[in-house]
Amino acid sequence: MGLAGMTICSTAFETLGRAQAKALGCPDLPLAIIPHPFGLRTREQVRRIASQCAEDIARIAREAEAPVGRSPTNAESPRGRRAQRIEAPGDHDGFNRYCRDRRWSDGLPHVPPTPARVDAMLRHTRRAPEDVVAAIAPAYGAATVEGIAINAVLAGCDPEYLPLLIAAVEALGDATFNLQGIQATTNSVAPWLIVNGPAARRLGVNGGLNCLGQGSWANATLGRAVRLILQNIGGALPGEMDRATQGQPGKYTFCCAENEDGNPWDPLHVERGYPRPSSTVTVVGAAGTLNMNTHAKDADDLLRVLADTLAHPTSNDYHFGGEPWIILSPEHAEVLKLAGLTKADVKRRLWEASRMAASRFAARDYARARHTRGPELGVMTADTQIPAAPTADGIGIIVAGGPGTHSVYVPTFGQTRAVTREVEVEAEPAR
């Protein structure tokens, strides 16, 4: 005997429920469906829905065969399978039509992943093509080195980007990043890649002027490759398992380097315990970006307005105790450095000054925060000052961008933590 399973699903999530059950190898998982949006129903309406739902559960228990046991992933083995070779139209328009029909696309044209192009990319890593780097939620597809290379070609990456992408996929697969939550949520969250160390310069990852904007091949195609991996290997197709209410432009691509020359403190990878000469990629579950323009030249004044901007009652970071990030412009970083502040000082000051009274939450969000943050904050009242992150260290800071008085606020999904992985030092391409 084993434990049988069943899921109660609101109508808007039925597609996700069925797709995820199928992807996890239990396509017949019984679903009891309740109307969406369930959270807005009155107590009396919930009673009526429960009455019907109980009948559905009883009927399903009589009739259905429920899956038993625990969920395997598709990447249980460290060796995956090699990719299938497929005949596709050889002309540009025909090939892109072929991709669109199969939903391999982010909406933009692709480069055909021919065996020659994929092989050229694979020569930039020592790892075997069939090595599984991570299981990509929500389908838990096995991201092999070869699969990463294929999607990188599709996205237009240069061959030498492969080791960086492998590190990024490793980071995405770390449990603390919570890719399952990120991929299947209604939230706008997208992985943001931060590149540190010599690889950034060598590959041309922009951390200067317009680093979050257009025009840098590496920034554009690396972020795009990650999106295609999440879609094609992870199975997060928009409107199906990707349930984003609106999404955000960062879901096309979201990648930059840190401006280490403009950073008066240790760069991110050194802060996170990696040697300065190493190269790393850090993934952040970013809900979006907000420009913060201030001509403040006084550190206290600057920190005050940045902290004011952080605090907003519709933020997942405040709801769940998250990890909000700040991209300081080099000019703003310089103001703080000249005042004698370390990066840790800046984090602590921002963390303290961005506490927000619980009364600013909507009533439902306040009730939820009492549950989610109760273990951390104790008994909560309307006057409780809620920090955005559980500890001051939870405020993420990098320095990026060019000249100008603009820093960027990057709120997160809240139920995620940034993960850093070292980029494999590239071998001389094998022959």
**Contacting another protein within 225-244 (CB under 8 A):** 228, 232-235
Residues 6+ apart with CB under 8 A from 235: 19, 23, 136, 138, 139, 141, 241
Select the residue interacting with another protein from 96, 185, 279, 289 (CB under 8 A).
185
- Three-state SS at 221: helix
Residues from 7 through 26 that contact another protein (CB under 8 A):
7-13, 16-17, 22-23, 25-26
Taking the CB of residue 261, how many other CB atoms lie within 10 A of it?
11
Select the residue interacting with another protein from 145, 154, 333, 389 (CB under 8 A).
154
CB of 308 to another protein, least distance (A): 26
372 contributes a contact to another protein by CB under 8 A: yes
Burial annotation 347-370 (CB, 10 A radius, 16+ → b, else e): bbbbbebbbbebeebeeebbeebb
CB of 292 to another protein, least distance (A): 27
Nearer to another protein, 272 or 368 (CB): 368
Select the residue interacting with another protein from 112, 208, 264, 313 (CB under 8 A).
112
192 contributes a contact to another protein by CB under 8 A: no
Select the residue interacting with another protein from 134, 143, 283, 333 (CB under 8 A).
143
Residues from 394 through 413 that contact another protein (CB under 8 A):
413
387 contributes a contact to another protein by CB under 8 A: no
361 contributes a contact to another protein by CB under 8 A: no
385 contributes a contact to another protein by CB under 8 A: no
Q: What Cα–Cα distance (Å) separates residue 307 from each residue in 94, 408, 428?
A: 51, 12, 47
28 contributes a contact to another protein by CB under 8 A: yes
221 contributes a contact to another protein by CB under 8 A: no
Rounded to the nearest 10 degrees, the angle between the axes of helix 145-155 and helix 162-172 is 120
Output the CA torsion 142→146→151→153 (10° steps).
180
247 contributes a contact to another protein by CB under 8 A: no
Residues 6+ apart with CB under 8 A from 265: 271, 333, 337, 342, 343, 399
Contact 189, 412 (CB under 8 A): yes
362 contributes a contact to another protein by CB under 8 A: no
Side chain identity at residue 26, one-letter code: C
Nearer to another protein, 145 or 292 (CB): 145
Nearest to 421 by CA among 187, 174, 207: 174
206 contributes a contact to another protein by CB under 8 A: no
Sheet holding 406-410, edge to edge: 290-293, 406-410, 325-328, 396-399
Window contacting another protein (CB under 8 A); options: 33-41, 160-168, 213-221, 353-361 = 33-41
CB of 151 to another protein, least distance (A): 5
CB of 159 to another protein, least distance (A): 14
123 contributes a contact to another protein by CB under 8 A: no
CB of 343 to another protein, least distance (A): 28
DSSP 242: B
Nearer to another protein, 22 or 406 (CB): 22
Give the CA radius of gyration of the chain.
Answer: 23
Select the residue interacting with another protein from 177, 254, 320, 361 (CB under 8 A).
320
Tell me the C-alpha distance between 311 and 319, whole Å.
Answer: 11
DSSP 131: B
Residues from 44 through 103 that contact another protein (CB under 8 A):
46-47, 49-51, 53-54, 57-58, 61-70, 72, 74, 80-91, 94-95
Nearest to 263 by CA among 320, 183, 208: 208
Select the residue interacting with another protein from 114, 248, 294, 405 (CB under 8 A).
114
